[in-house]
Structure formats: C-alpha cells, structure tokens
Structure 1
Amino acid sequence: MRPQKIIDSHIHLWPQSASNNASHGWMKEGEHLTRQFSVEDYLRASHVPDSDVDVEVDGFVYIETDRRVAEGDDVREWAAEPLKELGWLRRMVEGTPENGEGHASEHCRLVKGIVAWAPLDRGVEGFQDYLEAAREAAGEETFDRIRGFRYLLQGIHDEAKFKTLVASDGFIQTLKCFMKDGNDFTFDIGVDQHSGGVWQLEMAAEMMEKVHSGERSEEKVTFILNHLCKPELEHFPETADQIEAFSRWKACMKRFSKLEKVYMKLSGVFSELGNQDPETPLSEKEVYQRINPWLDVVFDSFTPQRIMFGSDWPVCNAGGPGDEKSWRSWRSTVAYALDAYKLSDEDEARIWHGTCEEAYNLVE
C-alpha cells in the first residue's frame, strides 16, 4: 500500500535572528513561539511512527509570518523585515543555509510554494514597488516559488478601519492586478470571527465579490481562506448569542463558496478550541466531536474539491497538545473526520494534497 501523501498547505518557520519583537511585533520575550522554528524541527514534529500509519509529508507551503513593517517611502526601508524573510527563504530554496538555521541543502525540495507578505494597504503602485524589491531579495529561483501573498486582516479590530481598507479602490485594484500583466498570484485571507468579529468575514466576502466583479473567469483571483475563518470553537452554539454567531459564520461560508476559485484550509483549530493539557490531550474523536457542527458546514459548502489540509505549525503547538504532539494530533483528527464522512480515496487525496496543488498551482 502506498503511503498517504501529504502537502501541508500552511506552515510557518523563522530563524533565531527573527525570533524577537523587533522582527515580529506579535512576539514577546519568554513566550512559547519566541524561538527558532526550523525545517528540521518541522520534520521531527510531522514524523508519524511506522506503527501508526504510513504517511509521507511530500512538502509544504510556507506562509509569511507577519513581520514588522515600518513607515516611510523607500520600500527597502519600510519593508525591510519582509524582504529579510525572503532572503532567508532564498537560502532555504537555494540550499545555502547559514550555521544553526536548521535546514540543509536537501530540504529545498520540500518548499513547494511560498505565500509571501504584500502591502495591500499601499495601492497598486506600492505593490509593484514591493514586487520589484521582493524579486531582487528572493532571487529568481525563490521568487518563482511565490504562489501568492497574504496581508493579515484578522488583527484589525476597529470595524470602521477594516471597512475603509478592504472597501478602498486601492485594495480592490491591487488584488485585481494579481492576475493581470503576466501575474499569477493567489491571496490568502486571514480573518477571525472569534477575536475580531463575524463582521470581518462579512466585509471580506463583500470585498471578494468586488474583486471578481467584471472579470473573466481566467482573470479572477484565487482566494484561499485560512483556518475556517477562526470561529469560536470552545462551546457548542447553545446560547442566543452563540447561535447568532454560528448562523452568521455559516452564512459567510455559503457566501464564500458561491464564488469561483475560493478554497478553504482545514487548519488553525487548536488556537480556537481552548488550551489542551499536554499530559491529557483530547483524542482525535473528541476534537472531531467538538468541531463537528463547523466541519459539517465547511464540507457541505466547499466539498473536498475545495478543502485542503493545513497544520498551522508551529502556531498549533501553543494551544494544542504540545510541540511533539500537535501536528500528529491534528493529522489524526482530520483522518478521523474524513473517515466519518465516508469519503472516497479520490476525495481524501484532494484534501491531503490535491486541492493544495490545484489552488496554488504547484509544479514540480
């Protein structure tokens, strides 16, 4: 029997040199994620003992890590940290690691695609300036692996500011140019119902509709939604407020799924489920039962043809059962869910790797 091929659609990595608040505004000294997380660390975390199941992690899509952005007019100054991120990825792809970075020359094949940061708040001209600087920082081989971009929206908790940004002509036109003038880029959408509000999803849906409006199918941008859009998963929807939030989240899933070229990642669940005790973590059955109402909606809305597996490693470690268990626990939970839904081998293959390959247009 052939091993289960997996392409992990959502992982983050960073070197020790960037494991600080100066490089990442969200990092705080002493916190669990404020240290290096390398390819070697990822391979250890994603290793499944032979006694469990035959799994082959064929590679991953690297997702930008929300590095700090400064003010100013010179792209090489205000985007210095995202450009450093690309320079570090270049060493990974070209197989020229610096001592202690935790990757070797043979690991270059694992980087199937890159979703880099992009300045969606600076309009088309700002994006084009950044694209030129990014190509220079990454080099041609690494730049060719950039399949798309992300600009995190989930941290904008002011509803008026959020709307002003995503409804702006600059934001809309920048996304439209992702598929114009020889470009072929996807856009990862990170919105957060739990911490931000369901209005983030509703405004994102309106923005996506505007970006697609008036475009031929082949020029419509591919949108890839992260982490089920981060619903509140700690409680079943029982109170009036919880039922309303769930209903609005569900309506957004239906609205998203009606658009062409929109995909969903099965990822990020541990961050919304409540902290687990590493000594007595939830079983895959227990996790599945807790998130089943949301999974039912996602599978009904998107179908396996537009759903992909993602681990959100190492962020999954912070709320999950721990560094040595979280990746394997989430893989087992997804496997349990696919079995519960009685999917065909072909549909399972879509979720483990096929949807990711299609959405990001991954080419060996």
Structure 2
Amino acid sequence: MHKRIDSHQHFWKFDPIRDNWIDESMQKIQKDFLPEDLLPILNENGFSDCVAVQASQSEIETDFLLDLASKNDFIKGVVGWVDLLDKNSAKRLELFSTQKKLKGFRHVVQGESDDFMFRKDFRNGINELKQHNYTYDILIFHRQLPAAINLVNSFPNQAFVIDHIAKPDIKSGAILSWKEDIKELAQAENVMCKISGMVTEANWNKWKPDDLRPYLDVIFENFTTKKLMFGSDWPVCNLAANYTIVVKIMEEYISQLPLLEQDLIWYGNANTFYNL
C-alpha cells in the first residue's frame, strides 16, 4: 500500500454562535469532530496522516489545532489563522514561528467582498509569510478567481494552494468562466490545487460521480499531477457523501495513471508543499 495523506480536513468542538456558517441545512455536522473520530476513518481508507485546516477566524483556533497536533502524531501539519490585516501581523507570525507543525495560514476569503485580495493591508500580511516559509490556502468562490490570479502573480515567491478547486458551480453545471480562469491560474508556478470540497458544490442529495468529471478533467489538464493533492474536506463532505465515497471517486478517476503520479496526488505533493 502506498502512503496517503489527507491534505485538507477540519476539527471542531461545535459552537453554534462561533460556527454560525453551519446552519440548519447542515445538521449532520452540528456536533464535535475530533481526532479520535477521524483516526479510524483514515485507517480504513489507507491514510497515515492529515493536515488540519482552520474553520474559524481566530488565533484561538490556531492554538486549538496546534494542541491537537501535539497530542496526535498523525496530524502532520496545521493551516491556521492569523489576522493578516493587522499591522502587527509580522510580530504574530514571529511568535508562531516556533511551532514546527504550523505550516501555513488561511482566511475565509469566500465570505469577503470580491476585491478583498486587493486590499493593501491583506497584501502586506501575505508579504510577511515568505519570511517563515509559510504557505497560504486560498479559499474562494469561482467568481473571485480573477482576484486570486492577480494575487498569485503579484507574489511569485509565495507558495499558494487553491482550496476546493475554487468552488465552481457544479450544482448548475456552469463551467466555462471557471474553466478559463483555472487555465490562467494554473500557469502560475507558485500555485497548487486541492482536489477537495467538490461533492458539497454539487447537488447534495442528487449528485453522481459523472457530475464531477468535467471539473476534474479541467484541473488535471491544467494543474497536472505535479500540482494536485487530495483533500477529503471531512467532516464537511458528510453533507453530501462520506469519507469513503470521496476517496473512491478519486481512486476511480486516477486509476489509469502511472502509480508514481497517483502517489503525487495521494501523498507526494502535499508532503512537499507543506514541508511535512
């Protein structure tokens, strides 16, 4: 069995006020999800390790994930949150830099205005990441791709990864403008892409694997196996599927690829990108 790492999953102790994005339509995930819940699922699906990604916007979240990582060896990396808009962000990053498992940061940009990534204070924060070799996860909706393209081209030495293939509108089947933007984004050498979060962009109750295929075709054609990594987006994936279903979709899609290329998607690319 070749090694596998889940490059994108979440943990939380559910708090209805803090986690207000988890609304009534998401009752399946209105509860705690902790390392002891994930470990058997990882084992069952042939994964040895994972990367835990922030789900709420506070340094308390970063500390919470780092604490879990310190107690659970299989959590190999943490993508935390820090206020990149703060003029003291360099000092905050300096304080975090002693944490070996902290690999990078993310902000829920999908919840911000479409020009958010052009903000000077945000860009000043992005500019500070390189000093500590921190990565940056770009979480956006597809309409924000033009801003993301500008961002990654403005910081050619910063390592970026796009989460959830930039959330195309799989539910409606719209693909054209997303496809054009992905093509342009993928040309930047400093950007990778997570094959994650797709089932929840489809129709939760009625999707089928064929609905995802055209979108997978686009990202494989443009990012190639050198720049793609698998992420489950557990437990959010439970809204439309489950861990094993998400893994099976990937297994089937890449089954014709040479094993070395499959290994890059399951393990190698995430391992390199996050310096695990």
**Cα distance in 2 for residues equivalent to 1:91 and 1:177:** 24
Q: Unaligned stretches of 5+ in structure 2?
A: none
Identity %: 26
In the aligned structure 1, how far is the partner of 2:69 from the partner of 2:250?
29
1:110 aligns with 2:74: yes
Structure 1 counterpart of 2:205, one-letter code = Q
**Match for residue 205 of structure 2 among 246, 258, 276:** 276
Q: Determine the C-alpha separation between the residues in 2 that align with 1:267 and 1:185.
A: 21
Tell me which amino acid in the other structure corresponds to 2:76: K
Residue in 1 that maps onto 2:33:
37
Whole-Å Cα distance in 2 between the matches of residues 24 and 302 of structure 1?
Answer: 33
Aligned residue runs from structure 1 range 138-287, under 5 A: 140=98, 143-156=99-112, 161-163=113-115, 165-180=116-131, 183-193=132-142, 198=143, 200-212=144-156, 220-236=157-173, 242=174, 246-276=175-205, 286-287=208-209
Q: Residue 161 of structure 2 aligns to a residue in which SS?
A: strand
Describe the shift of the 1:129–1:34 C-alpha distance in structure 2 as closer, same or farther (beyond 3 A): farther
2:65 equivalent among 89, 110, 125: 89
| Letter in structure 1 aligned against 2:53 | I
Contact 1:59 1:110 in 2 (8 A): yes
Would the aligned equivalents of 1:173 and 1:211 in 2 still touch at CA under 8 Å?
A: no
Counterpart pick for 1:333 among 235, 243, 249:
249
In 1, Cα distance between the equivalents of 2:254 and 2:90? 41
| Structure 1 runs, 4 residues or longer, greater than 6 Å off | none
Q: Higher Cα Rg: structure 1 or 2? A: 1
Q: Which amino acid in structure 1 is aligned with residue 228 of structure 2? A: I
- Measured in 2, the distance between the counterparts of 1:231 and 1:162 equals 15
Q: What TM-score, normalized to structure 1?
A: 0.71
User: How large is the Cα RMSD of the aligned pairs?
Assistant: 2.0
Q: Which moved more, 1:330-339 or 1:248-257?
A: 248-257
Contact 1:233-1:291 within 8 A present in 2 as well: yes
Q: Hey, what's the Cα distance between the residues in 2 that align with 1:206 and 1:47?
A: 40
The number of aligned residues is 275
Preserved CA contact (<8 Å) 1:83 1:133: no
TM-score normalised by L of structure 2: 0.92
CA positional deviation for 1:47: 4.3
Q: Distance in 1 between matches of 2:60 and 2:172?
A: 40
Supply the distance in 1 between the matched residues of 2:59 and 2:140 (Cα, whole angstroms): 24
Q: For the residues of structure 2 that align with 1:85 and 1:172, how far apart are their CA atoms?
A: 22
Contact 1:27 1:33 in 2 (8 A): yes
Matched residue SS, 2:52: strand
Is the 1:189–1:225 Cα contact (8 Å) retained in structure 2? Answer: yes
Q: Give unpaired runs (5+ residues) of structure 1.
A: 49-54, 68-81, 96-107, 213-219, 237-241, 321-325
Cα distance per residue 1:103-137 (max 9 Å; x no partner):
xxxxx211111100121233xx33124335656xx
After superposition, the C-alpha distances for 1:242-298 in whole angstroms (9 at most, x for unaligned) are 4xxx22111111111111121001110111111137xxxx6xxx41x2112111110
User: Which residue type is aligned with residue 296 of structure 1?
Assistant: D
